[in-house]
Chains A and B, each alone.
Chain A
């Protein structure tokens, strides 16, 4: 099956949700890797005294979660270019210890003519929900399929 046709057929498809836990060690390592010194990510004592009553996670932390797999989804091993990212929270930051139900949706596949040939754009949305299935955050990503990658995929 042509990969482009496959992507078109996946528009609107969702994965089964997967439960993720916001783990203290994972948050600390993530904050260290991004060079963020905020004590609210790593220092339990300071975080306890804050309005959050405990440690919180950095805004881009949801990128580390598992979101399940959309059935039949194909993702090339190399060559995809990350174009845009957005994360938005409903009520506040994630807290260490939170249990988050995550799933993803294949939002769209579009094409645009460019000087170098036809460009493909995949839009994915990822969602995080609390134990009562209330929305905690939404993440959107746009990924670019370059003309070279299209050729490699035989499209």
Chain B
């Protein structure tokens, strides 16, 4: 009989997820994200277009920053899923920026699907918060 090992999470209010520092943003990553998402706004990939828009250089897609906040929960997808992801963009992300993502449990409740944990999450570069919000993560019951 094979036994699947499970790291089924059981968090408490106040618990923090380990902060992850991501590799510096590269142009290739933004080109890949543009292709994968279909967002070809040139301020994310072409220097001249960014300058024309009054920016000092190309900026990362806000939705890419948001997607990377989902990485916090990837290790737990066997046992649950991201039910809600909600964030506000508050700063621009440029080439070479290193983002750190982190989260903390604000609330934990049981309901019909299992346990619903609400996290506050953020993406920062240094001290600057570039995106912040909440994630609802459901850990399936039983």
A: which residues have CB within 8 A of B? 26, 29-30, 32-38, 40, 50-51, 56, 58-60, 63-64, 78-79, 81-89, 91-93
Confirm or deny: B17 has a beta carbon within 8 angstroms of a beta carbon on chain A: no
In-complex Cβ contact of A32 among B36, B38, B53, B62 (8 A): B36
Tell me whether A89 and B81 are in contact (CB under 8 A).
Answer: yes
User: Smallest CB–CB gap between B108 and chain A, Å?
Assistant: 18
Taking CB atoms, residues of chain B closer than 8 Å to A50 are 78
Taking CB atoms, residues of chain B closer than 8 Å to A38 are 74-75, 77
User: Smallest CB–CB gap between B73 and chain A, Å?
Assistant: 8
Task: Give the interface centre of A37, A59, A63, A79 by most chain B CB atoms within 10 Å.
Answer: A59
Mask: chain B, 45-88; 1 = CB below 8 Å from A; 0 = not: 00001000100000000111011101100110110011111111
Tell me whether A79 and B37 are in contact (CB under 8 A).
Answer: no
User: Smallest CB–CB gap between A125 and chain B, Å?
Assistant: 13
Taking CB atoms, residues of chain B closer than 8 Å to A58 are 67, 70
Tell me whether A87 and B84 are in contact (CB under 8 A).
Answer: yes
Tell me whether B33 and A33 are in contact (CB under 8 A).
Answer: yes
With A26-B36, A32-B36, A87-B85 already in contact, the answer to whether A37 and B136 are too (CB < 8 A) is: no
Nearest-neighbor residue (CB-CB) of B73 within chain A = A59
User: Smallest CB–CB gap between A43 and chain B, Å?
Assistant: 12
Nearest-neighbor residue (CB-CB) of B49 within chain A = A78
Taking CB atoms, residues of chain A closer than 8 Å to B36 are 26, 29-30, 32-34, 64
Quick one: which of B5-22 are within 8 Å of A by CB?
Answer: 22
Tell me whether A34 and B70 are in contact (CB under 8 A).
Answer: yes
Tell me whether B53 and A78 are in contact (CB under 8 A).
Answer: yes
Quick one: which of B91-133 are within 8 Å of A by CB?
Answer: 113, 133
In-complex Cβ contact of A59 among B38, B70, B89 (8 A): B70
Q: Complex Cα distance A26/B86, Å?
A: 23
Tell me whether B37 and A85 are in contact (CB under 8 A).
Answer: no
User: Smallest CB–CB gap between B101 and chain A, Å?
Assistant: 11
Tell me whether A93 and B82 are in contact (CB under 8 A).
Answer: yes
Q: List 22 A-B contacts (CB under 8 A).
A: A29-B32, A32-B32, A33-B32, A33-B33, A34-B67, A34-B68, A35-B22, A35-B68, A38-B77, A40-B77, A40-B78, A51-B78, A51-B140, A63-B37, A78-B43, A81-B89, A85-B62, A86-B133, A87-B84, A88-B84, A88-B85, A89-B84
